[in-house]
Amino acid sequence: MSTEYDEYLMDDNLHINWYPGHMKKTKDLLRDNLKLVDVVVELLDSRIPFSSKNPDIDKFVGDKPRVVVLNKSDLADKEKLDKWVEYYKQQGIRAIPVDTSKGVGLNKIISECKNVTKDKMESLKEKGRKERAIRMMIVGVPNVGKSSIINKLTGRRSAQTGDKPGVTKGKQWVRLKGDLELLDTPGILWPKFEDQEVALNLAFTRAIKDEILDIETLALKLIERLMKIEPEKLKARYKLESLGEHPLETMDMIGRKRGFITGRKELDYTRIATTVLNEFRDGKIGNITLEIPDDIK
């Protein structure tokens, strides 16, 4: 990567468009199995609630009862997270912040699923239908933490987990405590990102595989965003007295501060990029939310 800042200003584009073949199969799986469930649990990333919301899901779900889960709440900014909860409340939807590492909010998912399906289950009972478990479907983009939530709800390692998108490969029914059954599905993205800022947010949080991206440019874009919305946290994490005039200058400062120098005495941009991306994803730069309801166009 060049250290010429004017070159960076002329050419800093990173166009993201990723739609693996299995995503279409997942879409068909979702559509075909929706009729089997009573409630849809829509899982969003608390750091990017808008960007991690798949617009296709609204079309699929329609009027079926829905519960919104704001996962990874431990990595988000509390004040901004509260704004998202209020945003959904105004739409008549209860959004539940969840932190799977501490088990926060998990019981509320079960109770809210029972709450929103109460009328349907009572109607079935009145018609003389045999009492059965409430059937849930959990949906969300890759790497939003579906398997981790399922494992916590079941109390056992019932779903495969991993810190990469695409770990859940196919449909699986999972029995939950509290007389519920859950249909897990693979993560689903959409064929084309109309808004590249949405695509970047998904890439920042690893919903899109690093392997198909230019991580140096991606990290540069993240630094640019953090310089705008969380400059103090960025300075504190990398022990910088000030930030650069341009994102690449800040990236250079981070590299020198951490000693990421190659054998030829040049900055190791791959190492800088990997470090910044991983430390953002792990919450080491701080609790950061990249968007708020006011940002929705």
For every residue of 110-145, DSSP letters joined together read HHHHHHHTHHHHHHHHHTTPPP-PEEEEEE--TTSS
Query: Do 102 and 209 fall into the same domain?
Result: no
Same domain, 144 and 274: no
Residue scoring higher pLDDT (210 or 254): 254
Mean pLDDT of 90-101: 93
| 68 and 125 share one domain | yes
Binding residues: 71-74, 143-148, 187
- Is 252's pLDDT higher than 90? yes
Domain-ending residue, one of 135, 154, 184: 184
175 and 30 housed in the same domain: yes
Handedness of CA 74, 80, 82, 87 (dihedral sign): negative
Residue 84 has pLDDT above 60, yes or no: yes
CATH at residue 108: 3.40.50.300
* Domain shared by 98 and 129, yes or no: yes
pLDDT tens by residue, 191-202: 566 788 988 999
Domain boundary pick from 184, 211, 231: 184
Annotated binding site for GTP: 71-74, 143-148, 187
In eight-state DSSP terms, residue 52 is T
Contact (Cβ atoms closer than 8 angstroms) between residue 66 and residue 40 = yes
Domain count, the chain: 2
Answer yes or no: do 47 and 29 share one domain.
Answer: yes
Among 174-183, 217-226, 248-257, 285-294, the least confident range: 174-183
189 in a structural domain: no
Q: What is the pLDDT of residue 166?
A: 40
Query: What whole-number distance in Å separates Cα of residue 294 and Cα of residue 79?
Result: 14
Predicted TM-score (pTM) of this structure = 0.84
Write out the residue range of the structural domain in which residue 234 sits.
5-12+194-295
